[in-house]
Amino acid sequence: MNRFMTAILTIFCVSLLVTVTGTGFAGSDMAGHDMSKSDKVGELFHESMVEGYMLSYYLMDLREQKTEKAESHGTHGKKEMNKPHHIMVYIMDKDHTSVHKGKVGFLITNKEGKKQKVMGMYMSNGFGTTVDMKEKGVYAITAKVVLGEVKLMDKFEYEIK
């Protein structure tokens, strides 16, 4: 009887191990290729290819979020936020691998020429920051990405309606 229970327990453990490691390997095989919205912060609003790197930009208006995190943003609580927009850039290298190390800076200019210069911080597999884009109109957005010796510049316009 003891041998029988040992055999069943061994089969169970081996089956569990194969299931867990098989799922882990299958998931990691495509990890660098998944640019779906499900694991991104905000909504995709621009994509660029710069020197073989793919830059995917996502925007989230924190004022529209119904979460406790958005309501307690900074020390503003439920009051009007000074910087209610969260911009994320997700970077994939030439081998379709997500970039996790580097520096990203943003220069955002509104239609009157007022500039905001901010550094992105690594979070949620991308680089993000908060900015003020409360006024309707066209914004010029410049991103500078430094990945070791590689320096990338990307510039585009986005309209807040």
Q: What tens-digit pLDDT sequence spans the chain (161 residues)?
A: 566 555 555 555 445 444 444 444 333 333 444 444 458 888 999 999 999 999 999 999 998 876 555 454 454 444 567 899 999 999 999 999 999 999 999 999 999 999 999 999 999 999 999 999 999 999 999 999 999 999 999 999 999 99
Please check whether residue 127 is in contact with residue 88, taking contact to mean a CB–CB distance below 8 angstroms.
Answer: yes
Residues 25 and 54 in one domain: no
Q: What is the pTM of this model?
A: 0.69
Residues 23 and 69 in one domain: no
Residue 73 φ/ψ, nearest 5 degrees: -55, 120
Number of neighbours of residue 27 by Cβ within 10 angstroms: 10
Domain assignment of residue 84, given as a range: 37-160
Residues 29 and 51 in one domain: no
Residues 15 and 72 in one domain: no
Q: Is the dihedral of CA 108, 152, 45, 100 positive or negative?
A: negative
Residues 27 and 91 in one domain: no
Residues 1 and 26 in one domain: yes
Q: How far is CA 31 from CA 17, 50, 89, 123, in A?
A: 21, 21, 17, 17
Residues 75 and 11 in one domain: no
Q: How far is CA 138 from CA 65, 95, 143, 152, in A?
A: 23, 33, 16, 23
CA 38/CA 47 separation, integer angstroms = 17
The two tokens of residue 160 are 């807040």
Please check whether residue 53 is in contact with residue 92, taking contact to mean a CB–CB distance below 8 angstroms.
Answer: yes
Residues 154 and 75 in one domain: yes
The CATH number given to whatever domain includes residue 45 is: 2.60.40.2480
Please check whether residue 87 is in contact with residue 106, taking contact to mean a CB–CB distance below 8 angstroms.
Answer: yes
Residues 45 and 28 in one domain: no
User: How many structural domains are present in the chain?
Assistant: 2
Q: How far is CA 108 from CA 50, 87, 116, 144, in A?
A: 19, 11, 5, 12
Residues 122 and 56 in one domain: yes
Residues 11 and 72 in one domain: no
Give the pLDDT confidence score for residue 39 in this predicted structure. 80
Number of neighbours of residue 89 by Cβ within 10 angstroms: 22
Residues 109 and 41 in one domain: yes
